[in-house]
Structure 1
Amino acid sequence: MPILALGINHDSAPIEVRERVAFAPQVMPAALEEARAALDCPELAILSTCNRTEIYADTDPDQLLAWLAAYHGVALEQLLGCSYRYTGEDAVRHMMRVACGLDSLVLGEPQILGQIKSAYAVARESGSVSSLLHSVFQQVFAVAKRVRTETAIGENPVSVAYAAVSLASRIFTDLSRQTALLVGAGETIELVARHLLEQGISQLVVANRTLDRAQQLAENLGAEAILLADIPEHLPRADIVISSTASQLPILGKGAVETALKKRRHRPVFMVDIAVPRDIEPQVEQLDDVYLYTVDDLRGVIDEGRRSREQAARAAHEIVEQAAAEFMRQYRSRGAVETIRSYRQKAQEIGDAELDKVLQQLDKGGDPRRLMQQLARSLTNKLIHAPTVNLKRAAEGDPQRLRIAREIIGLETPATSEPPGGKLESTKKDG
């Protein structure tokens, strides 16, 4: 099976590498087109989240990794050291694990399934999904749904959003006296906001590139909405800053934060940058009164809730293993059916051609008995010519291949017949 899954994730690569190979949503269609053209690859889909970038395709893994490095301007040697690749059944199994949240930083987190569905939809709209990837994705979605239904893997997961708020509550014992600035207006930020409200946060400010989206979220949360450009004005009153956008460039720099700290008279600020690429410049961490965390720093809090779902994860693993094996069995079966159909068609064409020759000679008054013998002999020779040639090649190579070939054509097993290296009689082709 030609399918390949290649990528990097939170376990294989640090955030400094992950943010360099991330794909922004707006460039995804063009990236798919460029990859397919460069690799002469008919099918390809790209998944890019804060914790992973993965490409699913039917192409050479070394060429695909080289394209990924060149596209993002990253040294190939760097990606070789932190990437992984799976092919065939292993690739299908990996995609299923990812969709079920079994490969996530947050075990069982539900957002990844929606992100995979989005990756599939974008690839399909771009014309880079055909029969192979379509079949795989549909099976992946079905298995993820089954895991959610039959196991408790998704019950009370400690999400990245929850972990960020949990850290904030450790630094500020009473959130009812604090103001939080949330940068972005996506699903993660909405989860952050709801967790903060549960913890009794005093004030919420939502900043976004478009004011309409910020206002929509703010109305549901009883928050204040501002534009990204207004952040410097509101930053001095923010005790907590949590950011998660799809920006390819930092939104908060060291200078802006330093200016805000002076206006705050150096009261501490807690910051969590969930975005990849990062929204907050790493240099901000150098400031004395800032506690800056990235998504990778949240592992400790997340691992606390992981143990409660490990039993459910084991059940989910079993479902994935069975489903991957069954998919491959069906896939190979479809291949066998197509091969049988093609072989039968070829035999029928040979038979029809030989019969036409005999019928023409019968019309000319040929001897029916002689012509029937000629038909049987000619048809036999034509049908067994290609298998005979390939049996000879198998006999000269791997004996195991010869044994399989003998079983396929219905001969007795090598153990009860002439040894695999024995002489094969040639069949003269009737001209």
Structure 2
Amino acid sequence: MAFLALGINHKTASVSVREKVAFVPERMVEAQQRFCSETGSHEVAILSTCNRTELYLAHEHADPQPLLHWLANYHGVPLGDLSACAYAHPAEHAVQHMMRVACGLDSMVLGEPQILGQMKSAYAVAREAGTVGPMLGRLFQSTFNAAKQVRSSTAIGENPVSVAFAAVSLSRQIFSDLRHSQALLIGAGETITLVARHLHEQGIKRIVVANRTLERARALAEQFGAHAVLLSEIPQELVNSDIVISSTASQLPILGKGMVESALKKRKHRPIFMVDIAVPRDIEPQVGELDDVYLYSVDDLQEVINENLKSRQQAAQAAEELVAQCVADFMQQMRALSAVDVVRSYRERAESLRDEELAKALRALRNGSSAEQALQQLARGLTNKLVHSPSVQLKKLSAAGRQDALTLAQELLALNTPDSLT
């Protein structure tokens, strides 16, 4: 059984490509079941975020090409476009990649903690789909343990830096004093919650949370003294909004060029700062063509993020070393597991021989033999049967000139250690 990590991320693919291969959360269970059925894969878990879509597999023959072909067909994306930005990490490299992702070492924001929660969610959904077995299960648990060690042993998570933090930092470059500004936050997920927290800490004048369900919008708004509205009320709120940050799971844009253009006229062309964190995008790219609109996508935040990463570089090196050790430990565990079937078979055979000799000894006792005679017969018979097959095989190997096998046998049977002589 081999491991494989296959996918695209913010380093290899633009947002226009990533949004095409993003999986809809509501169809994730069905997608994973379909993947296994159509590719013959034994185990798969899919991670789909705004910055990456990755498939983690335990596969008998982990050839990435047919799997990449499936991904292209599922999303209706030309195979050539996907192949140009996809990567495939096999075996030990897949293990290393998963652990680096979970620790935030492969994120746009170095060390960001949200990805670990997203990986745990991906694992839970894959378990619900029934597409995670013992191999991927062990890998995910080791991955989560590695992330926990990195968080507790390094400073990789110190000094809050995230896409949400970067978005708020960029807004301060447009509006120097947020105490006079109003923000419209679209969505009510984890990222928008972080945005709201950062804006609230900056003392922003007013926050409006717009969401598909009013209940979730209110739950978030109550945390920061904000106002909750439905998505249908966005046009009215947009008129008074200086900052618009959006992150939803919508498959279609929520803000179009016409809606924003209408709001700008009513604002008398006072500028609007917009950040579209969603993949697929919530704001039509054409909105960025309007005067008085400063529109940024998740990719545009990279420069801001880089400025906030310097304090994490030294911690990242320590985290990489810790991940390398975790990878080595996991691979050692996997190699040890490969011997389980052989050990089980050997033990079953030894127990069968033991039962045969024990039955002979009991018969001897019933037929009048002394306990001493029965025990001697048991010990002699068991010893002879246990060493018979190995002795025959060693003689054959010796006759064939297999000195390497004889050396291995000495190591396997512990014949070169002082303990073996006692």
Superposition map of 1:295-374 within 5 A:
295-343=298-346, 345=348
Q: Give the conservation status (yes or no) of the 8 Å contact 1:107–1:157.
A: no
- Asked if residue 65 in structure 1 is aligned to residue 71 in structure 2, the reply is no
Aligned to 1:103: 106
Aligned to 2:418: none
Structure 2 Cα separation of the partners of residues 294 and 114 of structure 1: 23
- Asked if residue 28 in structure 1 is aligned to residue 31 in structure 2, the reply is no
Structure 1 Cα separation of the partners of residues 191 and 349 of structure 2: 57
Aligned-residue offset at 1:164 = 0.5
Q: Give the conservation status (yes or no) of the 8 Å contact 1:106–1:157.
A: no
Q: Which letter maps to 2:298?
A: V
The Cα RMSD (Å) is 3.0
Q: Which letter maps to 1:185?
A: A
Aligned to 2:13: 13
Aligned-residue offset at 1:387 = 11
Aligned-residue offset at 1:265 = 1.8
Q: Which letter maps to 1:336?
A: A
Aligned to 1:363: none
Q: Give the conservation status (yes or no) of the 8 Å contact 1:350–1:383.
A: no
Q: Give the conservation status (yes or no) of the 8 Å contact 1:159–1:302.
A: yes
- Paired residue for 1:217, among 190, 215, 220? 220
Aligned to 1:199: 202
* TM-score, normalisation: structure 1: 0.82
Q: Which letter maps to 2:2?
A: P
SS where residue 201 of structure 1 aligns? coil
Structure 2 Cα separation of the partners of residues 204 and 295 of structure 1: 21
Aligned-residue offset at 1:23 = 1.0
Q: Give the conservation status (yes or no) of the 8 Å contact 2:394–2:406.
A: no
Aligned-residue offset at 1:89 = 1.4
Aligned-residue offset at 1:309 = 0.8
Aligned to 1:372: none
Q: Which letter maps to 1:130?
A: G
Superposition map of 1:229-268 within 5 A:
229-268=232-271
- Asked if residue 124 in structure 1 is aligned to residue 124 in structure 2, the reply is no
Structure 2 Cα separation of the partners of residues 134 and 102 of structure 1: 22
* TM-score, normalisation: structure 2: 0.84
Aligned to 2:169: 166
SS where residue 53 of structure 1 aligns? strand
Structure 2 Cα separation of the partners of residues 57 and 404 of structure 1: 36
Aligned-residue offset at 1:242 = 0.3
Structure 1 Cα separation of the partners of residues 404 and 79 of structure 2: 41
SS where residue 105 of structure 1 aligns? coil
In structure 2, runs of 5+ residues without a counterpart are: 360-383, 412-422
Q: Which letter maps to 1:240?
A: I
Question: Percent of aligned pairs with the same residue?
Answer: 59
Structure 2 Cα separation of the partners of residues 106 and 403 of structure 1: 55
Q: Which letter maps to 1:29?
A: V
Q: Give the conservation status (yes or no) of the 8 Å contact 1:254–1:283.
A: yes
Q: Give the conservation status (yes or no) of the 8 Å contact 1:179–1:239.
A: yes
Structure 1 Cα separation of the partners of residues 78 and 349 of structure 2: 50
- Paired residue for 2:136, among 133, 138, 146? 133
Structure 2 Cα separation of the partners of residues 112 and 283 of structure 1: 30
Q: Give the conservation status (yes or no) of the 8 Å contact 1:184–1:243.
A: yes
Q: Give the conservation status (yes or no) of the 8 Å contact 1:235–1:260.
A: yes
- Asked if residue 93 in structure 1 is aligned to residue 96 in structure 2, the reply is yes
Aligned to 2:47: 47
Structure 2 Cα separation of the partners of residues 161 and 53 of structure 1: 20
Structure 1 Cα separation of the partners of residues 79 and 253 of structure 2: 25
Structure 2 Cα separation of the partners of residues 151 and 382 of structure 1: 50
Aligned-residue offset at 1:337 = 3.2
Larger mean CA deviation between 107-116 and 226-235 belongs to 226-235
